[in-house]
Amino acid sequence: MENPLLNTHDKTILRDLAKRVAGIASLPVMDTRRDLWFRHNRLDRVRPMVLIFPEGSWGEVLPESVLQSQNLQARKFEWELRSRIYYYENFRDDTVIEKTWIVNKRITDSGWGIQPRHIDRTTPTGSWKFDPVIKEPSHLKLLKFPVVTYDPMGTERDFTQAQELFDNILDVKLKGIRHISFHLMQLYTDLRGLEETFHDMVERPQMLHDAMAFLEEGHRHLVQQYIDLNLLSLNNDQTYHSSGGVGYSTELPKPGYDGQHVRPCDMWSSAESQELHVVSPAMHYEFALPYEKRLLEPFGLNGYGCCEDLTRKLDFVFTIPNIRRISISPFADVDKCAEKLGRKYIFSWKPQPAHLVGDFDANRIRHYIQHTLDVTRNCVIEVILKDTHTCEGHPERFTLWSEIASQLAQEY
């Protein structure tokens, strides 16, 4: 089958960009950064590690107007290559640019039996509203376990095309499921509604427990299908982990790994319950953590949390098996969290992304970051700038922010 990417125009653009990426990946600084991540993730205190994720701001940082390829798929490839180059040339963080091109196996699932409904926003920048599809306990019977489907022929075509395109430039690798993250409460509130779920905690707690038990079993069934179909892939590399870190690890895979069949114990995994940000530690533990803990238990290393404030809930989080990375959100009390975590866990700090909008105040940002680095001198800390939905058309703010954070990290 002819590869639509391999017309002369697009192929030349992509191969030239791939050569630039390969050159960046071969620089000694990438070996240094990679080694720091290996040490950091095994809880050595190296220095604060820094990562930048523009996320919602990528449209302003690297707009599609810079792309030169003609084919739609080629343009996606081009954007991926240009983003790696942009990282190296503009961000002063600890991102490792690898000489690899990942081809994802074509894996889908049938879903959970019902689809969430939302009431659309009425203004371009407004918010949608939940439109519950689960309204009574009997509606839980509408839920079904997802069935996984793998397309080996389509996967082989993708892999062959990438090999032809990047031959002798990038290392083309085939990967299956490598980002394992459980979002039980997000899934359920999407179907039940957020306010309705909060009411159920008091008025119909058994309904919520029944739902969480079903979702726990459904996710366990999902993971087992990945195992049975041999679709898991190692994530002890540059793979994005939890809500911000990367997976470089000397502790994974575990002894007994045969090189062909990845087991949960060979992988990082994570979970979060952002929807429970406002509930008490006791309710968070009752309605979420036991279900999440059982799902996380088989995995070699685990992370927990995202944007929810875990300051008062850390003692419960510490009971998660193999917990290694804990998200400390912009809303958390970093002083108290530092006392709790010490060097037993990775202090995955998410600084306030709102500092990139409005008046960009470099001095305020410096003092803000410096305070956290001061109180975490006895912690293993990473500084992860994410959830940046806009930079108001000023992509240079990411560069300035990363320069401040990296300079401070070097001082510590």
Euclidean distance between CA atoms 352 and 349, whole angstroms: 10
Nearest to 323 by CA among 286, 352, 348: 348
DSSP 3-state assignment of 303? strand
Buried b (16+ CB within 10 A) or exposed e, 375-398: bbeebbbbbbbbbbeebeebbebb
DSSP states along 273-296:
-GGGTTS-HHHHHHHTHHHHHHHH
Euclidean distance between CA atoms 55 and 132, whole angstroms: 28
pLDDT band at 332 (very low <50, low <70, confident <90, very high): very high
Report which residue type is found at 97: I
Residue 215 has pLDDT above 70, yes or no: yes
pLDDT digits (tens, 9 = 90+) for 333-385: 999 999 999 999 999 999 999 999 999 999 999 999 999 999 999 999 999 99
Check: CB of residue 11 under 8 Å from CB of residue 18. Answer: no
Q: Could you count the other beta carbons within 10 Å of the beta carbon of residue 86? A: 18
pLDDT digits (tens, 9 = 90+) for 147-175: 999 999 999 999 999 999 999 999 999 99
Domains of the chain: 8-411 (3.20.20.210)
Q: What is the pLDDT of residue 3?
A: 62
Check: CB of residue 265 under 8 Å from CB of residue 254. Answer: yes
pLDDT band at 5 (very low <50, low <70, confident <90, very high): low
pLDDT band at 1 (very low <50, low <70, confident <90, very high): very low
Q: Which two tokens stand for residue 278?
A: 């406002």
CA atoms within 13 A on the CB side of 27: 15
Q: What is the pLDDT of residue 130?
A: 94
C-alpha of 321 from chain center: 20
Average pLDDT value over all residues in the chain: 96
pLDDT digits (tens, 9 = 90+) for 123-134: 877 889 999 999
Check: CB of residue 181 under 8 Å from CB of residue 269. Answer: yes
How would you classify the pairing of strands 171-175 and 100-104? parallel
